[in-house]
Structure 1
Amino acid sequence: MWEPNNYLMPKPVSNIQRVTFFSAIYGALAGLCLWFSYEFRFGAFVAGGLIDVTTADQFLNIQRPLALLWVVPLKITALSLVGQFRGVFYYFRLPEAIRLTLALAATSGTIFLIATFIGGLDQFQCFKLPRGVILTDFNISLVIFVGFRVFIRAIRERFWGKDNAARGTKERVAIIGAGQTGAELVANLLARRGHGILPVCFLDDNIEKHGLDVHGIRVIGFPEMISELNEKMGVTELVLALPISSVKRIREISALASTHNLRVLTIPSLTELAGGKVRASDLRPVSVEDLLGREPALLDNAAISSMIEGRTVLVTGAGGSIGREICHQISTRGPARLILVDQCEVLLFQIEQELIEKAHYAKITPLIGDVTDPSRMREIFQRYRPSLVLHAAAHKHVPMMESQPGEALKNNALGTALVADLASEFKAEQFVLISSDKAVNPTNVMGATKRLAEMVVQAMQARPGNSTKFCAVRFGNVLGSSGSVIPLFKKQIMAGGPVTLTHPDV
């Protein structure tokens, strides 16, 4: 049967083709190295008068061809065992260089043992190799093999990209921060020239780094020099490579850049930036969240993991702002199954794909369901019997709930009552309600319904015969969540204004 996906996808290289390719390349290099090892060794002996030409010919014309027959296959086997045949040929970094060196060293050691203990026997003279040839062969092989891989990588990086025109039009950027993160970012940018981003200089607060080169890019001075970058170097963008503790400095640089019409970029989060997880494709404009400067809360990861690991966890409202992040956190802590429940199929699909793309290996089960639908929720609990329930499904838009109090009551309060009751009935170990700070002395419908939900949870905990542990946690405003002020302001500013407020006194 014809399958569209298979038809559209390019045919992958088979294992036989890969092994044949690498065997041919490495075999040719190994043969050349051994060949020239004999030449260097015995050519020098003949030139120095240490041996006669006849003796040298015996080594070069009799012993050398026999050595090629078993040394070359031995090297190919060793390189295969350390994974050289599995890697992408033009990706070559320090770990690959170390593995390659170890393989060559192990091969030379094996050759020495074979030549000494087996080649010393009269019936196995074909395995005899001079120690000088073995040492010379190792040195030449190390230089040739590593040099060849570096050469291939350099050629690939120089001419990478299908669109030559795109390579000709690059954004010239300055990197703020010449530490490890900045160095990794520049290395990535230089390796992926097709992104159209060309780093031209570093700026750093550490005066000791001024005048130094990082991957060939000069550290020219302090970040305050950005006022001169556009005119002197044609820089149009800045890329932040500063640690998360430098939020105040990031604010200063961003403000200075805006006065000189320079775009400021960073990667998805400053936490990732500080951890060195840098890729050129991750660059994005600095957001409001990056400039808050709040210290991250310290979590008891061991306790959280023990609560989740090996258990079936159900999250309602999994596609929402809070539910989505909860799912990301849970999926990294080893649950037996993570059940995603949401009434919106689009949001449900998005969070499922996010978890898959980030290589979270939890067993993901996306389910469309409404927390106010008794039959559907009972079906879910009866089939999967979750140990931990995190109830994040709720209507949260304050002005909209003012005009539709019935829907707010049904979803926020009655929906919570239904899910909590099922959690108790099916013996879930724990139930956590995701509540809101607006439940404190509520002044609006949304806050009142969330307070009712908290009261439901308190009542469930005190119900006779209940074995489930119930609790509620209150969240404040989630910056950038759907319906919140930040994305609304961003949209209004991008459209040229005006920026609207909810009350004249604001």
Structure 2
Amino acid sequence: MGDTRKDRIQLLVRRIFLVITDIILINGSVFLSLIMRFEINIASVPEEYIQKYIVNVIPFTIVTLIIFWCFRMYHSLWQYASIAELYKIVEACVVAELAHLCVTSFMGWMLPRSCYFTSGVFLIVAMSASRFMYRLLRQLINEYRHTSEQLKIMIIGAGEATSVLMREISNSRYLDNSKVVCIIDDDLGKVGKYIRGVKIVGTRDHIKEYARYYDIDEIIFAIPSASTKDKREILNICKETSCNLKILPGVYQMVDGEINIKDLRNVDVLDLLGRDPVKVDIESIMGYVKDKTVLVTGGGGSIGSELCRQLVSHKPKCLVIFDIYENNAYDIQQELKIKYPDANVVTLIGSIRNTSRLESVFEQYKPDIVYHAAAHKHVPLMEVSPNEAIKNNVVGTWNVAKMADKYGVKKFVMISTDKAVNPTNVMGATKRICEMIIQSFNEKSKTDFVAVRFGNVLGSNGSVIPLFKRQIEAGGPVTVTHPDIIRYFMTIPEAVSLVLQAGAYAKGGEIFILDMGEPVKIDDLAKNLIRLSGYTLGVDMEIKYTGLRPGEKLYEELLMNEEGMQDTDNKLIHIGRPIEFDKEHFYEKLEELKEMAYAEDSADIRKKIMEVVDTYHPQTNQ
């Protein structure tokens, strides 16, 4: 409150100062034009013109100030003045001088005709000088103030975004000690030229060279239109310097040049993954979700909660969130209540292992669509608790599928994983069994059962980047299981996009797979995150290799050889053909596996899993 009052007082003082300055300049311009008409000799100016000038002072001043006020000459922030403000000054001065001519002509106070033109020119120059003088002085002060402590900035990109950004940096009172010292651009035609007095020194190949030469502290990536591939390649070069990295996020709409310092953000490791995000056909999603009752199991988890966010925005008749963990379910419930107060959201606590609880939910709400996201997913934990993986992933999915079939659900979409392909761990094997359950149910049910398979989800609970960040915050070391381990990665919104799109495409029995580009080395992710956190690998922070965990592969696969690949309308989403298996004895083995899991018989449970999933080959890594 105090700051607001202080700001208002300062604004009022500035306006009063501008008005007083304008009064002097308005009348000074007329007087100067008058004596110039008579060869800069006051004595030679006829007495009648002196009298007309004196009589004209008050009305001309009042009229001109009113015109200036109408042109908002006292409302602009002149420290940010640009060519647009200059145009406004010219327009205001021309109108003022025309008004001057009209008033003096009407009142019979005419000065020599040449005075009106010259006084108009003088007024434009005087107004421009008075408005831009503050900005000029500020820039000069910033230029030579704290020279030894200046933050030296390199900007990548020599387009409109850079020009606007440089103006913002130059004018910002919060960046008095910051200075753009060089610019990089891949357009050889621009190299050697200047933007706002700063030289474009070279292409991306010269980033490291000039970062050292100019002793750069911060690099700003300012190419809003850059492709993901170019952005990744340039940022990969930048991270090899010791500079802090910032980026203009998204594709900027350069309307009115509205780029602000607050729009800059630190470069995130996601910027270095190098793959365009998957886009979803929103209209097709709205078509099959709108006015439907939708059930999301595991609705409080990382994937489930994002599903709920996107689904509720498409106006389902009712969204049922079902989760065993009450804290997560409560969080997403409250979030949706605030954002979508009119949405019909029901939050229920329960376990997919409990058939009677599921029966009551399906009987009461009769969902049209089920997204099955509830599962145990942590590979190492499931290796030491295989019975729980069977109970939750296999038996739970079996239970939900039975209810979906019994109560006539139209679409059933199950979340699977790339670890289900040729699994070497219990978690992956249970997910493969879930896919087999879905496939077998689809053949005998009116419900369209499909599975969605994707890789590691960045930002989800238990994903590698939050772990790395915690380790870096704790001072290290950052732990990587193996220097050559690689994984496919996707973001939570991408994962949910795939799930939603699968629901739109689902005809029954498909396994949908996202084209996630090239796999990424976990070791590279760790190194990138260390550098982006401002540390030097091997000096401030170490990487410790701990060895592969039980059941962990060096690489993951998205398809088994037998599945092949079929395209969809979305070129980044593919369908794997169902693999045939012995369905006659499948459920007999499933019953035996269930009994063994509930009997807490973990000694031979892996052998039983192998009987169900012949592609499962458990291994213990040293």
TM interval, shorter chain, is 0.5 to 0.7
Quick one: distance in 1 between partners of 2:392 and 2:126? 73
1:91 is displaced (CA, Å) by 4.8
More helix by share: 1
Quick one: distance in 1 between partners of 2:67 and 2:370? 57
The structure, 1 or 2, with the larger RCO (C-alpha pairs under 8 Å, 6+ apart) is 2
Amino acid in structure 2 at the alignment position of 1:224: D
Distance 1:447 1:347, change over 3 A: farther
Aligned partners of 1:177 and 1:203 also within 8 Å:
yes
Aligned partners of 1:338 and 1:362 also within 8 Å:
no
Aligned partners of 1:371 and 1:416 also within 8 Å:
no
Counterpart residue number, 1:35 = 27
Distance 1:325 1:236, change over 3 A: farther
Counterpart residue number, 2:87 = 101
Q: What pairs up with 1:63-462 in 2 under 5 angstroms?
A: 63-79=56-72, 85=75, 89=77, 91-94=79-82, 98=84, 101-102=87-88, 105=91, 108-109=94-95, 112=98, 116=102, 125=107, 139-156=121-138, 168-192=148-172, 194=174, 198-226=179-207, 228-229=209-210, 232-235=213-216, 238-241=219-222, 244-245=226-227, 247=229, 250-251=232-233, 254=236, 258=240, 262-263=242-243, 265-267=245-247, 271-272=250-251, 279=261, 282-285=264-267, 287=269, 289-300=270-281, 321-322=302-303, 371-372=349-350, 395-403=376-384, 406=388, 436-437=417-418, 444-445=426-427, 448=430
Is it true that 1:484 corresponds to 2:466 in the alignment? no
Relative to the length of structure 2, the TM-score reads 0.53
Amino acid in structure 2 at the alignment position of 1:398: V
Q: Structure 2: state its 5+ residue gaps.
A: 353-357, 359-366, 470-477, 480-525, 531-540, 555-622
Aligned partners of 1:265 and 1:285 also within 8 Å:
yes
Q: Structure 1: state its 5+ residue gaps.
A: 1-8, 378-385
1:309 is displaced (CA, Å) by 11
Which secondary structure state, in structure 1, belongs to the residue aligned with residue 545 of structure 2?
coil
Quick one: distance in 2 between partners of 1:393 and 1:237? 44
Quick one: distance in 1 between partners of 2:96 and 2:289? 49
Distance 1:249 1:53, change over 3 A: same
- Identity between Structure 1 and Structure 2 (%): 23
Quick one: distance in 2 between partners of 1:416 and 1:128? 98
Distance 1:214 1:13, change over 3 A: same
Aligned partners of 2:63 and 2:96 also within 8 Å:
no
Counterpart residue number, 1:383 = none
Distance 1:245 1:16, change over 3 A: closer
1:478 is displaced (CA, Å) by 2.0
Greater displacement, 290-299 / 64-73: 290-299
Relative to the length of structure 1, the TM-score reads 0.62
Aligned partners of 2:418 and 2:455 also within 8 Å:
yes
Quick one: distance in 2 between partners of 1:403 and 1:214? 62
Query: Which of 29, 54, 57 is the matching residue for 2:50?
Result: 57
Deviations 1:426-464 (A, max 9, x none): xx999977654556787744774697599789989x999
Quick one: distance in 2 between partners of 1:156 and 1:135? 32
Quick one: distance in 2 between partners of 1:387 and 1:142? 71
Quick one: distance in 1 between partners of 2:326 and 2:458? 21
1:47 is displaced (CA, Å) by 2.9
Aligned partners of 2:170 and 2:179 also within 8 Å:
yes
Distance 1:362 1:337, change over 3 A: farther
1:24 is displaced (CA, Å) by 1.7
Amino acid in structure 2 at the alignment position of 1:105: E
Give RMSD over aligned pairs. 6.3
Which secondary structure state, in structure 1, belongs to the residue aligned with residue 181 of structure 2?
strand
Counterpart residue number, 2:548 = 502
Amino acid in structure 1 at the alignment position of 2:545: V
1:477 is displaced (CA, Å) by 2.1
Greater displacement, 249-258 / 147-156: 249-258
Amino acid in structure 1 at the alignment position of 2:51: Q
Distance 1:248 1:335, change over 3 A: same
Aligned partners of 2:235 and 2:272 also within 8 Å:
no
Distance 1:394 1:13, change over 3 A: farther
1:65 is displaced (CA, Å) by 1.8
Aligned partners of 1:336 and 1:363 also within 8 Å:
no
Counterpart residue number, 1:3 = none
1:192 is displaced (CA, Å) by 4.6
Aligned partners of 2:295 and 2:371 also within 8 Å:
yes
Quick one: distance in 2 between partners of 1:111 and 1:315? 71
1:12 is displaced (CA, Å) by 1.3
1:62 is displaced (CA, Å) by 0.3
1:35 is displaced (CA, Å) by 0.9
1:54 is displaced (CA, Å) by 1.6
Aligned partners of 2:78 and 2:131 also within 8 Å:
yes
Amino acid in structure 1 at the alignment position of 2:62: L
Deviations 1:50-101 (A, max 9, x none): 9952222123200122221333133224317xxx63x6x355254xx52673
Amino acid in structure 1 at the alignment position of 2:247: I
Amino acid in structure 2 at the alignment position of 1:178: A
Which secondary structure state, in structure 1, belongs to the residue aligned with residue 183 of structure 2?
strand
Quick one: distance in 2 between partners of 1:151 and 1:56? 33
Aligned partners of 2:155 and 2:183 also within 8 Å:
yes
Distance 1:170 1:348, change over 3 A: farther
Distance 1:19 1:246, change over 3 A: closer
Aligned partners of 2:38 and 2:45 also within 8 Å:
yes
Quick one: distance in 1 between partners of 2:158 and 2:381? 49
Aligned residues: 464
Quick one: distance in 2 between partners of 1:246 and 1:283? 17
